[in-house]
Amino acid sequence: MADAPRPPVAVAARPAPDADRPSPGAPSGRLLARAAALTAALTALGALLGLFRDQLLARTFGAGTGTDAFLVAWTVPEFAATLLIEDGMALVLVPAFAAALARRGAAPPAAGPDPVHALVRATLPKAALGTAAAAGLLVLAAPLVVPLLAPGLPDRQLAVDCTRLTATCLFSFALAGYCSAALRAHGRYLAPAAIYVAYNTGIITAVVVLDPADQGVRAAAAGVAAGGALMVLVQAPVLWRQLRTPPGPPASPAPSAPQTPPVAPAAAPAAPPGAPAPLAPTSAGVRPVLAALAPVIVFAVSRQSQVLVERFLAAPLPAGAISHLNYAQKVAQLPMVLSLMLCTVSFPVVARALAAGDTGTARRRAERDLLLAGVIVLVGAATVVAAAPQIVGLLFQRGAFDGADTAATAGVMRVYALGLLGQTLVGALVRCYFSTSRPLWYPAAAMLGGIALTAAAGSAFAGPWGARGIAAANALGITLTAALLLLGLRHQSVPLDARRLAGGLARLTAAAAVATAAGRWCAAGPPPLAVPLAFAAVATVFTATACALRAPVVPSLVRSAHPFRRLAKARS
């Protein structure tokens, strides 16, 4: 995200004019750096609150029958978050808003209705009404849904009660996801980055304020519903002000760019090469969005089905298996969340660059962010594998969460960490596939192949290895999906070099394997000391090994982080 010079990259065939020049209206590197730093801070705060939330749940409810029932009900908001916030809504609406903003910038004054406002009028009411109806239906159908999610669950009625409370997230998450996508497309990152701070604050407050001794895990379910409402409240006023702000004048071309003749008021602006069709300023403008909706929904539902498969297979296992899987997954995926922060910030940039026909900017941004995300997640995964028992003990072992729960969760967490690179690659690569408004079924097919492998392997592994076998199946399935997405890159609108990316990621993975061994050797002593020692060893050995292997990104990060280099740059 820094403003450092980039190495020259070969230009793809049939480039757009001025392909290497940032598109008009695109955020500057300095703005993106600030947005990344802001998003990082709020993401870290949300992650810390999420850890505190899980610590509170573990201390209050432990890892038993009641927690398993709540986690089955929590499947609903987890599923809804993937579909309505993280993947589905964002992957559809960010490119749609990017195209509408590009049309607004290219259109002459008084050329008709504002494309952005037309898109909001055509999509927001339908999304709100549809998800509100789905939430009401789920409240009524909860007694039928719970046995499908977790057959053999001991306390089914408790899970039904919690599901009825969490069902409201279908509506609140839809509004939150819509606001997030619209604001990020407009270059507004503060409110979207704060949604998980608000969400976790709602859960924590409910568990503390309500009486867990009387309400049990229903207090946590009520907190999930309250957190979903807070996610909307932190964004809706910002989006309202953004939409009420009159659009500025069209961006003037750069001084060195050739001047184009003025466009007649009745004529529509021509689309750049490779850009999606512009949105019409009427309800017909939503057609590209609706066309792209089906493959995005299939992809998002298939991806979140990993959780469904896990809890379905873990329900017949001894009490606490679902809880161990949940705590292990929440901690192990923290590096993935931090790594995907980069892609969250740059996805609107890629979408707007493609809308303007600027494939050079889209390619450079996507490739660098993908490799940076790989570095972050591999360092985190190596630390998790090296010091899993110490991490779990430090975070959770208190109250109702005992040493046996720590050992079981740590074992599952180490297996989960093997699939973290695949999880990050899927989250990053799918943004390249869905950066335009054209419907693409390949990511959905790849995800379906991965979930099929997860289900088949989980059924085979759950018997002999229990929760660890289910985690191994998860890692296998998501790794297959990531490999399929890498293989399909050559046919997509963002012309990434799949072979070069795969080679770079392989060298980074080799460095992470060496670092894991060093970190595990240093993870000795009490957890408060062992965890930072393991992380320091992993980071040091990973950096040295990656530089020795000539892995991408890491050497440039080392050079840019050198204190004398920073001082010389500041003086110059």
Q: Name the pLDDT band for 145 (thresholds 50, 70, 90).
A: very high
Q: Name the pLDDT band for 409 (thresholds 50, 70, 90).
A: very high
**CA 365/CA 19 separation, integer angstroms:** 13
List for the chain the helix, strand, coil content (%; round to 5). Answer: 75, 0, 25
Given a cut of 70, whether residue 115 has pLDDT beyond it is: yes
User: Taking a C-beta distance cutoff of 8 angstroms, is the pair 347, 90 a contact?
Assistant: yes
pLDDT value, residue 19? 33
- Angle formed at CA 280 by CA 276 and CA 282, multiple of 5 degrees: 145
Which two tokens mark 430?
């799918």
Which two tokens mark 181?
């996508």
**CA 410/CA 399 separation, integer angstroms:** 18
Mean pLDDT value of segment 195-218: 90
- pTM beyond 0.75: no
Of 373, 474, 467, 482, nearest to 416 by C-alpha is: 474
Half-sphere exposure (CA, 13 Å, Cβ side) for 143? 2
Q: Name the pLDDT band for 566 (thresholds 50, 70, 90).
A: very low
Higher pLDDT, 568 or 224: 224
Classify residue 570 by burial, with Cβ atoms within 10 Å: 0-12, 13-18, 19+. Answer: exposed
User: Taking a C-beta distance cutoff of 8 angstroms, is the pair 422, 478 a contact?
Assistant: yes
pLDDT value, residue 558? 78
pLDDT value, residue 202? 95
Given a cut of 90, whether residue 458 has pLDDT beyond it is: yes
**CA 300/CA 88 separation, integer angstroms:** 6
**CA 359/CA 366 separation, integer angstroms:** 10
**CA 430/CA 298 separation, integer angstroms:** 13
pLDDT value, residue 73? 92
Higher pLDDT, 205 or 343: 205
Of 18, 496, 494, 97, nearest to 272 by C-alpha is: 18
Higher pLDDT, 144 or 215: 144
40-86 pLDDT tens trace: 788 778 888 988 998 899 889 888 888 999 999 998 888 888 778 87
Q: Name the pLDDT band for 29 (thresholds 50, 70, 90).
A: low
Q: Name the pLDDT band for 31 (thresholds 50, 70, 90).
A: low
User: Taking a C-beta distance cutoff of 8 angstroms, is the pair 371, 428 a contact?
Assistant: no
Given a cut of 50, whether residue 264 has pLDDT beyond it is: no
Give 464's contacts (C-beta < 8 A, 6+ positions apart).
none
267-300 pLDDT tens trace: 333 343 333 444 343 444 445 555 556 787 788 7
For tokens 């899987």, name the residue.
Answer: 325
Measure CA 5 to chain center.
28
